Structure 1
Amino acid sequence: MGAPKHAAARYTYGEYLHWPDDVRYELIDGQAWMMAPAPTIEHQDIAGDIYFQLRQALEGAPCRVLIAPVDVRLPRSGEADDDIDTVVQPDVLLVCDSAKIDRRGVRGAPDWVAEVLSPSTAARDQIAKRRIYERAGVREYWLVHPTDRTLTVHWLVDGRYGIPEISELKGSTALAILPEVAIAWDALVARLPPVEP
């Protein structure tokens, strides 16, 4: 099968595996979403720095940090991989259960996810992906806003994301699921291009 032909069609991971490698997609409830073209340097600098800081902080720890592109398959129950209809590629993710990681990526909810917002995907990250991360059981979900220089954090409490906390990208922010691990923002933000008015 080639790339998806109709936006209204429903797809599964089994079909997704046969699409061309030169165009990236995510599946959300069976709907194919084309990934944006190559992200901006700002986006990549933020995602890369978060990954780097986590990788250093977690050296020797059981949790594993991964960076996009890596497929995260989010089954609704125990369906076979080929039947899964939600496959996403978070910018940075943390998985503390090694049994969830295989050669194809991750099956099941990561413990922590960070998405760096891009103009073309911001609505999907803030609405559709927040909903599926909540449903799947992602315990902590970060949205980094490069232009606004803000961070929105959602925590899973009793299976739901409550009111998020919004803060500036200043100082450092600890992960709620691993309070001894924090992301330092000041040096990273200083490297970013100035925000255009």
Structure 2
Amino acid sequence: MGLPKRDAARHTYGEYLRWPEEARYELIDGVAYAMAPAPSRRHQEVLLELARQVANALEGHPCRPFIAPFDVRLPRAGEADDEIDTVVQPDLSVVCDPRKLDDLGCRGAPDWIVEVLSPTTASHDHILKRAVYERAGVREYWLVHPVDRIVTVYRLDGARFGVPEVCELIGRQSVGVLPQIEIDWDRFAALFPQ
């Protein structure tokens, strides 16, 4: 089951910017998908701990971490911002090229994206967003499954994601494209269901 669509029309980032702030959407190939209601407390705690570890690891480094809501515009070519038809809000993204950052968020693929899965977003993140991130050139994409206590890791191999690596959320795990970041999953123990 996917997230509900706003309507059957095709939209652009220019339209998206004019929509009321209280209604949050992501655009994928012009289709506006309603964002799920506020995530669970556990989702927020997992994201906060991830962001804390990432921010600490990147202190003094040019790469910058961002958490949702943070617009990542993914143009297909050199189209103007108003014409972009794919805008997502990853749970956590790290951008190492400062030229991609502006007051609106990020234009272009972040180096690393993490989505913390919840029942309402799992298929959306696994299928639609994975394809979009691959097409855009995101170098590494993690899907954190708090209930199953696993992480699925996709790394770009040329223009495609290679075979995913699936790991338990135990011990320490380095980010392949940002080896200075090492996630200590043991610090999450109290957040994962038993």
Q: Same fold (TM over 0.5)?
A: yes
Say whether residues 1:172 and 2:161 are aligned partners.
no
- Aligned-residue sequence identity (percent) comes to 60
Query: How far apart are 1:180 and its partner, in Å?
Result: 2.6
1:192 aligns with 191
RMSD: 1.4
Separation in 1, partners of 2:174, 2:132: 24
1:16 aligns with 16
Separation in 2, partners of 1:178, 1:65: 12
Separation in 2, partners of 1:111, 1:178: 8
Provide, for residues 75-97 of structure 1, a one-character-per-residue CA deviation record: whole Å limited to 9, x for no partner: 00000000000000000000000
Separation in 2, partners of 1:174, 1:193: 20
Say whether residues 1:74 and 2:36 are aligned partners.
no
Alignment of 1:1-197 (within 5 A): 7-188=7-188, 190-192=189-191, 194-195=193-194
Query: How far apart are 1:192 and its partner, in Å?
Result: 1.3
Separation in 2, partners of 1:49, 1:155: 22
> What is the number of equivalent residue pairs in this alignment?
191
> Counterpart of 1:42 in 2: which secondary structure?
helix
Provide, for residues 18-57 of structure 1, a one-character-per-residue CA deviation record: whole Å limited to 9, x for no partner: 1111111000000000001010011111111111101001
Separation in 2, partners of 1:184, 1:101: 28
Query: How far apart are 1:181 and its partner, in Å?
Result: 1.6
What amino acid does structure 1 have at the position aligned with 2:130? Answer: R
Separation in 1, partners of 2:79, 2:39: 33
Stretch of structure 1 that moved more, 47-56 or 134-143 = 47-56
Runs of 4 or more off by more than 2 Å in structure 1?
Answer: none
Query: How far apart are 1:194 and its partner, in Å?
Result: 2.6
Separation in 2, partners of 1:102, 1:108: 11
Could you list the runs of 5+ residues in structure 1 that have no partner in the other structure?
none
> Counterpart of 1:115 in 2: which secondary structure?
strand
Check conservation: 2:36, 2:121, Cα contact below 8 A.
Answer: yes
Using CA pairs below 8 Å that are at least 6 residues apart, which structure has the higher relative contact order? 2
> Counterpart of 2:72 in 1: which secondary structure?
strand
Separation in 2, partners of 1:137, 1:6: 27
* TM-score, scaled relative to structure 2: 0.95
Separation in 2, partners of 1:46, 1:100: 27
Q: Cα–Cα, structure 1 residues 12 and 182, in superposed 2: closer, same or farther, change >3 Å? A: same
* TM-score, scaled relative to structure 1: 0.94
Could you list the runs of 5+ residues in structure 2 that have no partner in the other structure?
none
> Counterpart of 2:141 in 1: which secondary structure?
strand
